[in-house]
Amino acid sequence: MVEVVVERNYTDGIITRFQDAFPEQIPDKSFSSQWTTFITQLNQMFSEAETFSYVCVLEGLLSALTLYSLPLFYETKAKKKFKEIREFLDTSNKTIFSPKGMELCDPFANGLLFLKIIVHNGAR
Amino acid sequence: MTGKKKYETWPGKNHIFCHGRLMAGGGSRGWFWFTHVLFIIPAVLFSVDVCPWLAREISPAVVVIFAWLTLACVVFFYMAAFSDPGITPRQATRPKKRGPSILKIDVNGVRLKMKFCETCNIYRPPRTSHCSVCDNCIDRFDHHCPWIGNCIGKRNYHLFLLFVFTITIQCFYVLSFSLVKIVFMATKDGRSGIDSFTYIWADSPLVIPIALFMFIVTILVCSLASFHLFLIATGQTTYEKLKKVYKTQQNPFTKGPLMNFVHLLFQPWSPAYIHLLDEDETTRVTTENATSAVPVIDSLEVIS
């Protein structure tokens, strides 16, 4: 069993972004194109979830003025985006990683510090 | 058989209440209750002594605004006190047995160091620091606030700011209207000098100590609010200012005073990494070790 760790990419600041280079420890080299699609989409989704826009300002302002009773009824855009990210990670694990004998661990459990992929024995 | 919940095996020094539903910071809870005393006493005295007079002489709207400001202060205070500041979960093992103690990375062209945290077993991302009072690594660590009884970090800095700004406005408001009452009573019916003082002291003695107390408190909260406005303008955290991080080095995180202010006060929601009500998998009892916990009666000697 091999544990592959993909670190964060901090070159553009502390926005959540993972290194997009294909991890060398993954034995199946034909996985490269699927990896690129996956990591590009993941970074794009994080970028959208953490983006700052007029919607953010409006939501923040209304939340503060209503003494944070607004978030009880209304799901903010960022919260929706993070939900989509979790679903995307779950789906990717089932459709991309599992068929190749790999397991994508939940990055939220480690505080989005790294992506851990477990390559099970006999994965080719 | 399920093991324990994460709040039962929490490794940090945080105080956890209501069976894992509320988490505050570590350290003494005394200061947290002292803040209540400092807030409640003038609010009650003002409500009892000055508010009825204000409603009569000026307008009930003045009292309504005071009530709203007080409620806002209380709400923001409790939200800041019991919110997750951005605790980074501990890792069970070191990432590499003999890895370096410092990693060097480039952020927006500025070279920064990521130090290894021995307690949490992680390389701290930029702006993350370990709070020794709570014993956790906090994302965008600002400071540990004993008055609130929690750390201030990425996830609750905007709540802390709202609390500080609202309480500054509320203090100014209470001070101003206390002074309005004093001036009004002092000059009523053409009084002046010592007559004014004796009239106020006989008719409404509380208003003078309220005004004096609020004068001192307003200066203090105003200083804190100004300090944080300065930090926001320069794009620093309290910790970075105290450690003089950007004295010699360029700050790669600042976007200019106005954008910093807007970004910090209206930042989008970010998820908490800690879920205290989840099961702690390391305490899960499997069927194998469950049987070993049951005493084997056959081996007991029969005592006749």
Digit-coded pLDDT (tens) for A56-76: 999 999 999 999 999 889 999
User: Does the CB of B88 have a partner CB in chain A at under 8 Å?
Assistant: yes
pLDDT digits (tens, 9 = 90+) for B15-50: 999 999 999 999 999 999 999 999 999 999 999 999
In this predicted structure, what is the pLDDT of residue B300? 44
The residue of A55, A56, A65, A67 whose CB has the most chain B CBs within 10 angstroms, and thus the best one to mutate to test that interface, is A67
Query: Closest residue of A to B137, CA-based?
Result: A111
Mean pLDDT of all residues in B218-229: 97
Say if the Cβ atoms of B273 and A109 lie within 8 Å: yes
Q: Which of B97-106, B181-190, B237-246 has the lowest mean pLDDT?
A: B97-106
User: Does the CB of B140 have a partner CB in chain A at under 8 Å?
Assistant: yes
The residue of B154, B266, B281, B282 whose CB has the most chain A CBs within 10 angstroms, and thus the best one to mutate to test that interface, is B266
Average pLDDT across chain B, whole number: 89
User: Does the CB of A61 have a partner CB in chain B at under 8 Å?
Assistant: yes
Q: Which of B91, B108, B139 sits opposite A12 (nearest CB)?
A: B108
Question: How confident is residue B82, by pLDDT bands cut at 50, 70 and 90?
Answer: very high
Question: How confident is residue A14, by pLDDT bands cut at 50, 70 and 90?
Answer: confident
* Residues of chain A above pLDDT 70, percent: 98
Q: Which of A49-58, B149-158, B193-202 has the lowest mean pLDDT?
A: B193-202
Query: Computed from CA positions of residues A71, A74, A76, A81, in that sequence, does the dihedral angle turn out positive or negative?
Result: positive
User: Does the CB of B122 have a partner CB in chain A at under 8 Å?
Assistant: yes
In this predicted structure, what is the pLDDT of residue B299? 43
Mean pLDDT of all residues in B294-298: 46
Mean pLDDT of all residues in B137-142: 96
Which residues of chain B are within 8 Å of residue A61 when distances are taken between CB atoms?
Answer: 266
pLDDT digits (tens, 9 = 90+) for B282-295: 887 766 555 444 44
Q: Which of A12, A67, A111 sits opposite B75 (nearest CB)?
A: A67
Comparing A124 with B188, the larger pLDDT belongs to: B188
Mean pLDDT of all residues in A46-57: 92
Which residues of chain A are within 8 Å of residue B75 when distances are taken between CB atoms?
Answer: 67-68
In this predicted structure, what is the pLDDT of residue B282? 81
Q: Which of B64-73, B165-174, B195-204, B217-226 has the lowest mean pLDDT?
A: B195-204
Contacts of A42-48 with CB under 8 Å at 24 or more apart are A42/A18, A42/A85, A42/A88, A42/A89, A42/A92, A43/A16, A43/A17, A43/A18, A45/A81, A45/A84, A45/A85, A45/A88, A46/A15, A46/A16, A46/A17, A46/A85, A47/A15, A47/A16, A47/A17, A48/A81
Write out residues 68-107 of A within 8 Å (CB-CB) of B.
Answer: 68, 76-79, 82
Residue B95 has pLDDT above 60, yes or no: yes
Q: Is B5 helix (H, G, I), strand (E, B) or coil?
A: strand
* Residues of chain B above pLDDT 70, percent: 91
In this predicted structure, what is the pLDDT of residue B287? 60
Which residues of chain A are within 8 Å of residue B79 when distances are taken between CB atoms?
Answer: 68
Mean pLDDT of all residues in B126-153: 95
- What strands lie across the sheet with B110-117, from one edge to the other? B102-107, B110-117, B122-123
Query: Which residues, at least 6 apart from B132, have a Cβ–Cβ distance to it below 8 Å?
Result: none
The residue behind tokens 């100014």 is B172
In this predicted structure, what is the pLDDT of residue B98? 60
Pick the closest to residue B157 from B76, B258, B36 (CA basis). B76
Say if the Cβ atoms of A50 and B125 lie within 8 Å: no
Mean pLDDT of all residues in A3-25: 90
Question: How confident is residue B301, by pLDDT bands cut at 50, 70 and 90?
Answer: very low
The residue behind tokens 């553009």 is A12
Residue B297 has pLDDT above 90, yes or no: no
Which residues of chain A are within 8 Å of residue B88 when distances are taken between CB atoms?
Answer: 111, 113
pLDDT digits (tens, 9 = 90+) for B149-169: 999 999 999 999 999 999 999
* Residue B145 bears catalytic tag: yes
Q: Give the gap in angstroms from C-alpha B266 to the nearest C-alpha of chain A.
A: 5
Residue B261 has pLDDT above 80, yes or no: yes
Average pLDDT across chain A, whole number: 91
Mean pLDDT of all residues in B229-245: 95
* Catalytic residue, candidates B73, B131, B145, B151: B145
Q: By the 8 A CB rule, do B52 and B181 touch?
A: no
Say if the Cβ atoms of A113 and B88 lie within 8 Å: yes
Residue B197 has pLDDT above 80, yes or no: yes
Which residues of chain A are within 8 Å of residue B67 when distances are taken between CB atoms?
Answer: none
Distance CA A18, CA A111 (A): 13
Question: How confident is residue A11, by pLDDT bands cut at 50, 70 and 90?
Answer: confident
In this predicted structure, what is the pLDDT of residue B207? 92
Comparing A11 with B287, the larger pLDDT belongs to: A11
- Cα separation of the two ends of chain B: 36
Q: Which of A57, A60, A113 sits opposite B125 (nearest CB)?
A: A113
